[in-house]
Amino acid sequence: MSKTNPGHFFEDFAIGQVFEHATPRTITDGDRAVYGAIYPTRFAVPSSAQFAASVGLAASDGSGHPVEELIGFHVAFGKTVPDVSLNAVANLGYAELRFRQPVVPGDTLRTSSEVIGLKQNSNGKSGVVYVRSTAVNQRGEIALDWARWVMVHKRDQTLEAPETVVPELASVVAPADLVIPSRLDFSDYDFAAAGESHRFDDYAVGEKIDHVDGVTLSESEHMMATRLWQNTAKVHFNTEARPDGRRLVYGGHVISMARALSFNGLANAQLVAAINGGSHTAPAFADDTVYAWSEVLDKAEVDAPGVGALRLRLVATKGRDESMTLKGDDGKYASGVLLDLDLWALVPR
- Return the residues of window 28-47 that contact its own copies according to CB under 8 A: 28-34, 36-44, 47
Nearer to its own copies, 138 or 164 (CB): 138
Q: Among 244, 253, 187, 199, which Cα is nearest to 226's? A: 253
Q: What is the DSSP letter of 327?
A: B
Task: Give the whole-angstrom CA distance, residue 141 versus residue 190.
Answer: 30
Nearer to its own copies, 164 or 216 (CB): 216
Of the ranges 22-30, 94-102, 115-123, 304-312, which one interacts with its own copies (CB under 8 A)?
22-30
Nearer to its own copies, 72 or 265 (CB): 265
Which stretches within the chain are classed as H helix? 29-38, 44-47, 49-54, 69-80, 191-194, 219-228, 251-261, 263-266
Contact assessment for residue 255 and residue 317, using Cβ atoms and an 8 Å cutoff:
no
3 lies in the site for its own copies, by CB under 8 A: yes
CB of 341 to its own copies, least distance (A): 18
Beta strands in the chain (DSSP E): 18-20, 25-26, 88-99, 108-120, 126-136, 142-153, 208-210, 215-216, 271-280, 289-301, 307-318, 337-348
CB of 142 to its own copies, least distance (A): 16
Nearer to its own copies, 101 or 120 (CB): 101
- 213 Cβ contact partners less than 8 Å away, ≥ 6 residues apart: 40, 261, 264, 291
Contact assessment for residue 63 and residue 285, using Cβ atoms and an 8 Å cutoff:
no
> What residues between 178 and 207 interact with its own copies by CB under 8 A?
192-196, 198, 202
Task: Give the whole-angstrom CA distance, residue 41 versus residue 31.
Answer: 13
Report phi then psi at 263, rounded to 5.
-50, -40
Report phi then psi at 162, rounded to 5.
-75, 165
Q: Any idea of the CA torsion for 296, 257, 22, 89, to the nearest 10 degrees?
A: 80
CB of 340 to its own copies, least distance (A): 20
> What residues between 254 and 283 interact with its own copies by CB under 8 A?
264-267
Helix (H, G, I), strand (E, B) or coil at 108: strand
Judged by CB under 8 A, the residue of 12, 185, 213, 340 near its own copies is 213
> What residues between 142 and 181 interact with its own copies by CB under 8 A?
none
The tally of CA atoms less than 13 A away on the side-chain side of residue 304 is: 24
Nearer to its own copies, 31 or 96 (CB): 31
Site residue total, its own copies (CB under 8 A): 80
CB of 31 to its own copies, least distance (A): 5
> What residues between 61 and 90 interact with its own copies by CB under 8 A?
62, 65, 82
CB of 161 to its own copies, least distance (A): 29
Nearer to its own copies, 50 or 121 (CB): 50
Judged by CB under 8 A, the residue of 223, 258, 314, 343 near its own copies is 223
Judged by CB under 8 A, the residue of 11, 13, 48, 131 near its own copies is 48
22 lies in the site for its own copies, by CB under 8 A: yes
Nearer to its own copies, 177 or 202 (CB): 202
Beta strands at 25-26 and 215-216: parallel, antiparallel or unpaired: unpaired
Nearer to its own copies, 78 or 277 (CB): 78
Q: Among 334, 310, 52, which Cα is nearest to 201's? A: 310
Of the ranges 103-111, 158-166, 167-175, 335-343, which one interacts with its own copies (CB under 8 A)?
103-111
